[in-house]
A and B are shown apart, each in its own frame.
Chain A
Amino acid sequence: MDLRTGLANMLCNGVIMDVVNVEQAKIAEGAGAVAVMALERVPADIRKQGGVARMSDPRMIEEIKASVSIPVMAKVRIGHIAEAQILEAIGIDFIDESEVLTPADAAFHINKKTFKTPFVCGACNLGEALRRINEGAALIRTKGEAGTGNIIEAVRHMRQITSELTALSQSEGSQYESMAREYRVPVELIELVANTGKLPVPNFAAGGVATPADAALIRQLGAESVFVGSGVFKSENPERVAKAIVEATTYFDRPEVLLEVSRNLGKAMEGIEMGTLPQESRLAQRGW
């Protein structure tokens, strides 16, 4: 087993939370997060403030790393090999090659096989997921639409990947060559996925999770874990919301627990209706 995918397996059935400082990292750890994503601005603020979004200051990432015992992740721009090398030099546990930051390369994603550090990458559909896996991604997550507090895009991406997986596992061997061409990946990867009916790496959800019910919904649709970006620390009661999302992620199939943890959480993050979000500000379109 590839150790990079090995760590991804350890993060299953858990919640990874975006944090912007040590105080938030400790709240996330105390609430039961399996990992934190250290970044300077959560997606909702990146969206609001605009400008080029880059890798965070390594010093801030190092401070967060020193303050918690759980794994720490951080984001690099799509295709930004040097930012990834810097994070690897820090000794970060996981790198998110993320569409939330401004892409650095219009032609290539990072060749992730050359790193010892595992990578997670976003995907809207099976072809995109397989291309990232072929480049060495140890973990796939839906892109959703980060910073919106709106779950609809994550649901769309999870359903899309699941239905394409089902179609692939039911297809004939004679179709593999043409599917490999369509998805732009080696036929061996198509064959592997067709035989097992699942991705060879864990499949998580991200982008728009704002409530415990959102986490439970996306888990019921097949997500093995949940990334929460702005949903925790843009809510009225971050600590309570963080705990409730962790609990809902474990007991996603127990409505009586979901009821109990959903009560009295205060105001959730505001959120954005997709119809009011112009095409050019949709982050899920970044990457290919």
Chain B
Amino acid sequence: MKAVGILALQGCVEPHVRVLRSLGRDAISVKRGEDFEEIDRLILPGGESSTMLRLLERFSLFEPLRSFCLSRPTWGVCAGAILLAAKVEHPSQVSLATVNVLAHRNFYGSQRESFSTEVRSSLFDKPLSADFIRAPKLSPLASTVEVLAEYGGDAVLLRENHTLLSSFHVELESDTRLHQYFLSLEVAPR
């Protein structure tokens, strides 16, 4: 079995590695084109999307990353979700556009407005412990996007085919259920 990759250009990489290893999966940092050969699915972690974007372009990783995300299970967390969204605003920026979602950066405000809460999802019996840290707002742009959890009337956990997006973090908590769900995602046959 190939490893799970975590895009490691910048951001919250180590906590995902820890969770995945606790689930018995090998996890590796991805920051070079050849790293994609070693992995069968990828997490784009939280951090600063503008930083990651600049490094993707600078080191010619934009296209290899995009083609991986189009063909394999991918989970974008917070900044990672912004990178994957079809459209980004406030301010607008380039994105990989592999999922039909609109991302509104820093929608929930700056750090003073960051919060932890419980989020109910159709995936699980019990709510998830969710950290919203300078979080974006994510809105579906097509009916192919399934909203798996809402908070305050907004979609916060979404899936389209093999791509999962969350505006919140679970990797800083001891709850591993969302990682387990991500590991179970498969690419639908065309």
Contacts and interface: CB of A to CB of B under 8 A. Distances in A.
Interface of A: 1, 3-7, 9-14, 29-35, 65, 69-72, 88, 91-94, 116-118, 243, 246-247, 250-251, 254, 257
Contacts of A250: 8-10, 31, 55
B51 A34 contact: yes
B165 to A, nearest CB: 17
Given A1-B131, A14-B47, A246-B54, A69 B9 contact: no
A209 to B, nearest CB: 17
A69 B50 contact: yes
How many B residues are at the interface, by size bracket? 35 or more
27 contacts: A1-B116, A3-B111, A6-B172, A7-B111, A9-B12, A9-B15, A9-B46, A10-B11, A10-B133, A11-B47, A12-B12, A13-B11, A14-B51, A32-B55, A33-B51, A65-B110, A69-B50, A88-B112, A91-B111, A91-B112, A118-B111, A243-B54, A243-B58, A246-B55, A250-B31, A254-B32, A257-B59
Interface in B31-56: 31-32, 46-48, 50-51, 54-55
Contacts of A14: 10-11, 47-48, 51
B10 A3 contact: no
A4 B133 CA distance: 9
A220 B13 CA distance: 17
B141 to A, nearest CB: 21
B146 interface: no
Contacts of B26: none
B72 to A, nearest CB: 23
B24 interface: no
**A5, A92, A250 — most chain B CB neighbours (10 Å):** A250
